[in-house]
Each structure stands twice: as structure tokens, then as C-alpha cells.
Amino acid sequence: MGNLREFTLAEMRDGLRAKKFSAVELATAHVDAIEKTNAQYNAFITITRDKALEMAKASDAKLANGQGGLIEGVPVGVKDLFCTKDVLTTAASHILDGFKPQYESTITTKCWDQGGVMLGKLNLDEFAMGSGNLTSYYGTVKSPWQKDGKALVPGGSSGGSAAAVAANLAPVALGTDTGGSIRQPAAFCGIVGIKPTYGRCSRWGVVAFASSLDQAGPLTRTVRDSAIMLNVMCGHDAKDSTSAPVETPDFEKALTGNIKGKKIGIPKEYRPDGINPEILAMWDKGIKLLKDAGAEIIDITLPHTKYALATYYIVAPAECSSNLARYDGVKYGLRVMGEDGSLTSMYEKTRAAGFGAEVKRRIMIGTYVLSAGYYDAYYKKAQRVRWLIADDFNKAFEKVDAILTPTAPSAAFGFDYKPTNPVEMYLNDVFTVPTSLAGLPGISIPGAINKDGLPLGLQIIGKAFDEATVLNVAYALETAIGFNAKPQGVAA
């Protein structure tokens, strides 16, 4: 039967239905491995062994009667940004110490309704703000990939989710993507990560960072597994005013692998001067493989791409400063009283102690750009540029069915990387942010291995609510690439 943890989600689903192994065996194998290796990876903040085994027993009972949901008995890791009833939910921040919600997020509810088995809550950059999983109050996450025996970052903010899937600690992990926080860690860890169209998945019960950008999505080992998870996660939610009332197609059935006649756009703006030659070589190989599969390659232009990063780092901090105003020590989480016992002092002390440096930086930037006298100069102008970026994509999609780009400008970097300023770290999102600003679906798949033996990612971007095409192009490319490299650091 082999190592159960090496199976893909689809293989686990099919094996459970065929009774080749039980949900309890599957859950036990994963929880045992998590408890054994979490000190090594620090991927999990909370491990829910008892809940996992209880849910697995219930799944086995359903499967024995020929019943069960789409992922009945399959283990699932949850980024600790999703509220989970009676289970510690932290957003990787000190300010949410001890917070156990009395409700379940819509996305996790959908997963449990379809038979998913909860393994625990996964580490992340604090409040999803970061590109390396370096800002968590609970410590950094280490990727199972290594360079010269040295640990690397897994990417961020969904670094714990990506590391867990790459290390065979979970076949699927829930993540969120605001400016690339699913796709970039997927690229760094050699796995698949998809950000659906904004509004495709409910945000209800997800701790907010930037409300007009945040979107939930899965991290998996294969494109098929991501398609299965979108079938579980998508759908209109009346509790979320940004949830789109659109039909959810069967994404797994869309995986035909036939892309003959599909028009694939190649944006010239994603070839900046000084681009890493290994990234360029991977991209060119991906273009050739799509062409060999019968796709038509078309050069396109997205002229406002150069303004995307600056636009994002005005819009996102502005929304963050508004969303994080609710953490004040009054209702839940950390409370630090001042010496004078006043309410104002408690606010100041709680927020000073509870938020990390990167969160404070973004709150300050966001508050500044929203302040009187600067709103028009910064935030209002950024929103106008955001519209221009979205319009670039609209015009491109009049000519093409999907767009192919790199996912990130480099492979994963080490913990010894010391940027001279925060902007250097923000550049990790240069290829993913435009898609987020436009609210479009994007997927990252493993594209190649570089000279250091580390994975590089390719990104496919699609039209709004056309995840089916995005997945099918990704499936065809995944098949053609045949990526099968494994991290060196994975424990048995």
C-alpha cells in the first residue's frame, strides 16, 4: 500500500471509496507525522489530533454505508486565518491570544460537510502580511526544500500551508491570497496553488487583511486535486456581500487536457530588464510546451503592470488599517492594561504589544494614505490605477483565453537573506499582484528546477470566473512538464 501520506488527494479519495485503507488510518498517519516533525518545520500552530480521529471515524461509518461527500475521509490542513469553532484561531498574531471562535467559517464548513478531516491550524505571516512566513508571532516556518543543507523560507503568507503539503503532512491545505499568498508559496515549495476569482469563494469567517483583495483557495500537489477542492469550496454565500451569485461548474470534469486552438497570451511587461535567466528559460519552455500541445501563442501588452506593486501597497495597507482597528483588547484576544487604567491607555498598550513590526508598518502606511489631505493624492489615485490595470486584462482577454507568466522572480531564499528595506521583500509579489488587483483567477504550478535544485513556478491567469479554462491549461502544462522533483528534507 506504500506510504499513505505520499498519495494525492484524488488517490486518497479513490482509495477510501475502494476501502483500500480507512479514514482513521489516513488521519493517524498524518497526525503522527505532524507531531513528529512540527519542531522541524513549524508548519502547524495547533494540532487537532482528537478532532481529526473523531471526524475520521465518522467518515469511515459513512463510507461503510456507501455514503460520503466529495472528500470524505481526506485530511485537510487549515491556514490559521479561517475561524474554526472552539479551536484556537490566531492569525499568527499575539493580539489574538486565546481566541476560540463560537462559529465556523463558510469555507471550513463546506470542507467538513463534504467529509474533510481537520488536521490542525497552519502557520502564516501575521495577519497574512508577508512573503516569507517570517512575521509570525509563533516563529518562522521552514520549507522542506533545502539549499546546501540550509533551511529556506516556504514563501508567504500561506507558508505553513505550502510547507505542510510539500512535506506530505497534508494532501491539501486551505490558504488565502491577497497579493500572491497562495501562488508564491506554491512556487517556492514545488506544489500547486490556485487563487480563484474574487467572489468565487466566501470570505465569511476569514480574518480580514484587505477586504477587496482577500480570496480563499487550496494548495495541493496536483492540478486535479485543486479542481476537486474548488468543487468543495466554491459557491454563493448570502452571509458574504462580496460573494458572487454564479454557478459552480464541475472543475474536475473540465480537465480534458485538450488545449488545441486555445489562445495563450504572453505579456511583454513580465520580461523586465535583469530578469533571472533561469526564470526566463522556464517561461520559454512553458511557452513551447503549450505551443506543442496545439495552443496559439499571442504576444500581448499589459501597460500598467509597472504601477501594480505601488498601487497594491497603497490599497492593501489602507484596507488593513481599517480592518485591524477592531483589535483593541476590549472584546477578545490580548488585553494589556496601562498604568493609569484608562481605556485609551489599554488601547495603546494592547496594540503595541499585540501587533508585530510588519503589521504596525502597514497600519501606519494605511492610516497615512487615508488621512485628510493625502486621501486624494494616494488612495484615490491608486484606486484609479487599479481600474486601469483591470482594464488592461479586459482588453487582453478579448484576444486570448489565458495568460502565461512566471509566478515569482526567484526561487525560495534563505533565512539569512537581509533586504536593505521592506520594499525589496515586497518585490516577491511583482508577478502575482496585478492578477489580485484585477480580481482574476490565477494558478501556480511547478515549472522547473533551477541550478540549486529548487523549484520555480509558472502562473496561468484567466478571465473572471473562468477557473475551468485556467485549470485545464494548467493540467495540460503540468502533464507536459512532468515535474516529479521532491524536497530533500521530507521525513518518512
Contact criterion met (CB below 8 Å) for 140 and 42:
yes
Kindly tell me the burial class for residue 296, based on how many C-beta atoms sit within 10 Å of its own C-beta (0-12, 13-18, 19 or more). Answer: middle
Catalytic, out of 79, 110, 262, 463: 79
Nearby residues of 394 by Cβ (< 8 Å), 6 or more positions away: none
Question: Residue 9 corresponds to which amino acid?
Answer: L
How do 150-151 and 146-147 pair as beta strands?
A: antiparallel
Catalytic, out of 22, 157, 158, 202: 157
Nearest to 460 by CA among 473, 450, 448: 473
| 39 vs 62: CA distance, rounded Å | 34
181 is catalytic: yes
* Phi/psi at 9 (5° precision): -60, -45
150 is catalytic: no
* Phi/psi at 444 (5° precision): -110, 130
Q: Which three cell numbers stand for residue 240?
A: 458574504
Contact criterion met (CB below 8 Å) for 134 and 2:
no
Catalytic, out of 22, 181, 226, 321: 181
- Give the dihedral sign, CA 165/169/174/176: negative
Question: Residue 466 corresponds to which amino acid?
Answer: D
Kindly tell me the burial class for residue 245, based on how many C-beta atoms sit within 10 Å of its own C-beta (0-12, 13-18, 19 or more). Answer: exposed
| 58 vs 479: CA distance, rounded Å | 35
Contact criterion met (CB below 8 Å) for 385 and 302:
no
C-alpha distances (whole Å) from 77 to each of 73, 232, 246, 422, 469 are 13, 14, 27, 30, 27
The torsion angle over the Cα atoms of residues 164, 169, 172 and 173, rounded to 10 degrees, is -40
Is residue 354 within a helix (H) or strand (E), and if so which, with residue range?
helix 343-354
Contact criterion met (CB below 8 Å) for 105 and 189:
no
Count of other CB atoms within 10 angstroms of residue 133: 33
Cis-peptide into 444, omega within 30 deg: no
Burial 451-477 (b: 16+ CB within 10 A, else e): eeebbbbbbbbbbbbbbbbbbbbbbbb
- Give the dihedral sign, CA 276/282/283/288: positive
157 is catalytic: yes
| 221 vs 6: CA distance, rounded Å | 10
| 366 vs 303: CA distance, rounded Å | 26
Residue numbers annotated as active site: 79, 157, 181
